A and B are shown apart, each in its own frame.
Chain A
Amino acid sequence: MSTEILHGHAEVVSEAHGEHHEGHHHEESFISKYVFSMDHKMIARQFLITGIIWAIIGGLFSVLFRLQLGYPDMSLPFLEDIFGRWAQGGRITPEFYYALVTMHGTILVFFVLTAGLSGTFANLLIPLQVGARDMASPFLNMLSYWFFFLASVIMFASLFIQTGPAAGGWTIYPPLSALGQASDGSKLGMDFWLISMAMFIVSSLLGGLNYITTILNMRTRGMSMTRLPLTIWAIFFTAVLGVLSFPVLLSGAILLLFDRNLGTSFYLSDIVVKGEILPNEGGSAILFQHLFWFLGHPEVYIILLPAMGMVSEVLSVNSRKPIFGYLAMVGSLFAIAILAFLVWAHHMFVTGLNPFLGAFFVLLTLLIAIPSAIKVFNWLTTLWRGNIRFTPAMLFAIGFVSLFISGGLTGIFLGNSTLDIHLHDTYFVVAHFHIVMGVASFFGMFAGVYHWFPKLYSRYLNNTMAYIHFWITLAGAYLIFWPMHYEGLAGMPRRYVDYSSWESFKMFADLNRFISTVAMIVFAAQLMFVFNFFYSIFKGRRLRTENPWGSNTLEWTTPIHPGHGNWPGEIPEVHRWPYDYGKDGREFIPQTEPIGKDESAHH
Chain B
Amino acid sequence: MSGYLILAILALAFVVTFQIAKASEYVSVLKGEEKSFKQNNRINAALFIAFLVLGLIGAYWCNELYYKKTLLAMPAASDHGKKIDDMLWLTFAVTGFVFFLTQILLFWFTWKYQYTEKRKAFYLPHNNKLELIWTVVPAIFLTILVGFGLFYWFKITGDAPKDAQLVEITGKQFNWMMRYPGKDGVLGRKNYRLTDASNGNALGVDFEDAASHDDIEATEMHLVVGKPVKLIINAQDVIHDVGLTHFRMKMDAVPGIPTTIWFTPLYTTTQMKEITGNKEFVYEISCDQMCGNGHYSMKGQITVETQAEYEKWLSDKKPQYVLNMEAKAPAAPEMKAAADTVKAAMKPVAQVMNK
- Give the B-binding residues of A (Cβ under 8 A): 1-2, 5-6, 76, 78, 94-95, 98, 167-169, 173, 175-176, 179, 182-184, 268-275, 277, 281, 283-286, 319-322, 324-328, 350-352, 355, 358-359, 362-363, 366-367, 369-370, 373-374, 376-378, 380-381, 383-390, 395, 398, 401-402, 405-406, 409-410, 412-413, 416-419, 421-422, 424-426, 462-465, 467-468, 471, 474-475, 478-479, 482-483, 486, 489-491, 493-499, 501-505, 507-508, 511, 524, 528, 531-532, 541, 579, 581-585, 603
Contacts and interface: CB of A to CB of B under 8 A. Distances in A.
Contacts of A426: 288
Given A322-B125, A412-B95, 20 more contacts: A94-B294, A176-B238, A272-B195, A273-B238, A274-B173, A324-B126, A355-B158, A366-B146, A386-B109, A388-B41, A406-B99, A416-B146, A417-B153, A463-B28, A491-B71, A491-B243, A493-B286, A493-B288, A499-B296, A507-B69
A268 B239 CA distance: 11
B324 interface: no
A582 B120 contact: yes
Contacts of A325: 125-127, 131
B29 interface: yes
Contacts of B282: 503-504
Contacts of A321: 121-124
Overall SS of chain B's interface: helix
B113 A387 contact: yes
Contacts of A385: 113, 121-122, 124
Contacts of A418: 83-84, 87, 149-150, 152-153, 156
Contacts of A581: 121, 123
A286 to B, nearest CB: 6
Given A179-B237, A389-B115, A405-B102, A272 B292 contact: no
Given A271-B192, A503-B281, A182 B237 contact: yes
A197 to B, nearest CB: 18
Contacts of B150: 359, 362-363, 417-418
A422 B247 CA distance: 9
Contacts of A374: 131, 134-135
A489 B70 contact: yes
A277 B196 CA distance: 9
A353 B138 CA distance: 28
A412 B195 contact: no
Contacts of B102: 376-377, 380, 405
A425 B241 contact: yes
Contact of A367 (B62, B81, B116, B142): B142
B250 to A, nearest CB: 5
- Counting from the closest, the 4 A-B pairs by CB-CB distance are A491-B245, A269-B256, A352-B259, A355-B157
Nearest to A387: B121
B312 interface: no
Contacts of B3: 76, 78
Contacts of A173: 238-239, 289-290
Given A370-B142, A422-B250, A319 B237 contact: no
A493 B249 CA distance: 13
Contacts of A416: 87, 91, 145-146, 149
A184 B61 CA distance: 43
Contacts of A388: 41, 45, 110, 113-115
B326 to A, nearest CB: 23
B26 to A, nearest CB: 6
B337 interface: no
Contacts of B255: 175, 268-271, 285
Given A381-B124, A416-B91, A398 B293 contact: no
B156 A421 contact: yes
Contact of B69 (A271, A285, A490, A493): A490
Contacts of A362: 146, 149-150, 153
Given A388-B115, A464-B24, A324 B124 contact: yes
A462 B286 CA distance: 49
Interface stretch (B13-21, B215-223, B327-335): B13-21
B130 interface: yes
B17 A482 contact: no
Nearest to B158: A355
Given A269-B256, A489-B71, A528-B17, A370 B287 contact: no
Contacts of B131: 325, 328, 374, 377-378
B227 interface: no
A582 B105 contact: no
B154 A1 contact: no
B22 to A, nearest CB: 7
A389 B41 contact: yes
A167 B238 CA distance: 14
Interface string B260-284: 1000000000000000001011101
Q: Which of B135, B293, B294, B297 has the most CB of A within 10 A?
A: B293
A124 B98 CA distance: 36
A384 B288 contact: no
Given A320-B121, A585-B120, A412 B252 contact: no
A504 B284 contact: yes
B254 interface: yes
A316 B144 CA distance: 34
A499 B72 CA distance: 20
Q: Which of A168, A402, A505, A582 has the most CB of B within 10 A?
A: A402
Contact of B291 (A176, A283, A324): A176
Nearest to A378: B131
Contacts of B139: 370
B62 A483 contact: yes
B15 to A, nearest CB: 11
Contact of B193 (A182, A277, A358, A422): A277
A234 B261 CA distance: 42
B353 interface: no
A291 to B, nearest CB: 15
B29 A322 contact: no
A286 B254 contact: yes
B204 to A, nearest CB: 7
A490 B71 contact: yes
Given A386-B121, A409-B98, A495-B296, A489 B149 contact: no
18 contacts: A168-B290, A285-B254, A359-B153, A363-B146, A366-B142, A366-B146, A370-B135, A373-B135, A387-B119, A390-B45, A405-B106, A412-B94, A412-B142, A421-B80, A424-B250, A471-B47, A489-B71, A507-B69
B237 A493 contact: no
A474 B54 CA distance: 13
Given A175-B238, A183-B293, A387-B120, A271 B256 contact: yes
A424 B251 CA distance: 10
Nearest to B254: A285
Given A352-B259, A409-B99, A421-B248, A183 B292 contact: yes
